[in-house]
Amino acid sequence: MWGYGHSLRCGPLHAVGDLTMRISGFGHALFGISVAGLAMLSLVYGDFAPIFEPFPGFRFWAYGLGAILLAAGAGLFSGRTAPASAVIVGVYGMVWAVARTRSLLLRPWVVGSWYGVCEALGPLVGAWILYAMLRRQDNAPAANVVTGDRALRLARGLFGASCIGYGAAHFAYASYTANMVPTWFPGRMGLAYLTGAFHAAAGFGLLFGVLPRMAATLEAIMLSLFGVLVWLPNFFAHPMPEWAPSAQVQWSETFLTFLLAGSAWIVAASLRSAPWGFAAGAPGDSPSAPR
């Protein structure tokens, strides 16, 4: 990726099975740490991460949002505050996505314009699904338009559409992507195209429900490896690569990549009761399941 960056049953607690597990696993932890990391960057640099175009009172809002996000990131690790913190992060992702639509409206034919919106949908979907899982875990009395089966299928579909956008960016900016591949990898241009195809395949799998659990898991692994193999080594690179010209960019893109990876792991966790292979329908998608 360049520049980054179980169906939930609505029945009783015993019917939810492992979906109601205490969400304290890898995806949840990675998501919370990454949110806190982006928040601290806003406080350190007085800038949004990811960076928005300047507007009146830009620095004031950057500090304020940084403080709120830092509290939300910490709150994700507390049982009592985690649902509310997930909502805050979700609202942040929604505002981020809306802000990115400006370039999409101005240049809808440019893949990079779509990429910005897709990038913003990652944390929005991650927070959305995490909130739903936490509510189920707390044995909420009933599902609603945010936590129901249909809502969660929509969320996973949006994440799948975002993955397709990542794949399209790999093909549209293949040379740029290839430059980010570590030099010790053979066939760097081929890897740029191959990973683009993998992103797209995972996206279509989630969007159309074809091997969704496998698609989400492989996407999570790929995003995690991108952060480990591409962004983390850049902190030791001399000179800095042209696509990471400053420490702020390096930190921002590192946390953003792991935030997207955390979102992917959360999507995969929401499919924990789904089979790895093909199945006639996803668990909890039967017409008789409460909505």
161-176: pLDDT as tens digits: 999 999 999 999 999 9
Contact between residue 152 and residue 159 where contact means Cβ atoms under 8 Å apart: no
Read off the pTM.
Answer: 0.84
Confidence of residue 108 (pLDDT cuts 50, 70, 90): confident
Contacts of 92 (CB under 8 A, 6+ apart): 65, 69, 72, 123, 127
99, part of any domain: yes
Condensed to tens digits (0 to 9), the pLDDT of residues 37-85 reads: 999 998 988 876 655 666 666 787 888 889 999 999 999 998 889 999 9
In a domain, 278, yes or no: no
CB burial of residue 18 (10 Å; 0-12, 13-18, 19+): exposed
| pLDDT reading at 250 higher than 70 | yes
Q: Give the Å distances, CA to CA, from 249 to 18, 53, 59, 252.
A: 38, 15, 17, 5
Confidence of residue 237 (pLDDT cuts 50, 70, 90): confident
Higher pLDDT pick, 159 / 5 = 159
C-alpha closest to that of 122 among 64, 61, 203: 203
CB 132 within 8 A of CB 147: yes
Structural domain tally of the chain?
A: 1
Termini Cα distance of the chain: 36
Q: How far is CA 271 from the centre of its chain?
A: 15
Of 79, 97, 103, which Cα lies nearest the Cα of 28?
A: 79
**Distance in angstroms (rounded) separating the CA atoms of residues 72 and 95:** 16
- Over residues 222-251, the mean pLDDT reads 87
Q: Check whether 127 has a pLDDT greater than 90.
A: yes
Q: What is the pLDDT of residue 56?
A: 63
**Percent of the chain scoring above 70 in pLDDT:** 81
Residue 33's alpha-carbon distances to 37, 121, 160, 221, in angstroms, are: 6, 18, 23, 17
pLDDT average, residue stretch 106-115: 88
Q: What is the DSSP letter of 57?
A: T
> Is the per-residue pLDDT at 245 higher than 90?
no
In a domain, 260, yes or no: yes
230: pLDDT strictly greater than 70: yes
Please indicate, yes or no, if residue 208 is contained in any of the structural domains: yes
Query: Residue 73 in contact with residue 36, Cβ under 8 Å?
Result: yes
Q: Work out the average pLDDT over 189-217.
A: 95
Q: Give the domain extent around 134.
A: 14-269
Q: What's the pLDDT at 219?
A: 97
Q: Is residue 163 part of a domain?
A: yes
In a domain, 275, yes or no: no
pLDDT at residue 256, rounded to an integer: 94
Residues 286 and 20 sit within 8 Å (Cβ to Cβ)? no
Report if residue 130 sits inside a domain: yes
Does a cis peptide bond (omega within 30 degrees of 0) precede residue 50? yes
**pLDDT confidence of residue 238:** 76
Rounded to an integer, the average pLDDT of 141-150 is 75
Q: Are 121 and 267 in contact (CB under 8 A)?
A: no
pLDDT at 167 (0 to 100)? 95
Average pLDDT over residues 258-274: 93
Domain annotation covers residue 178: yes
CA distance 219 to 11: 29
Tell me the average pLDDT of the chain. Answer: 82
Specify the pLDDT at position 285: 43
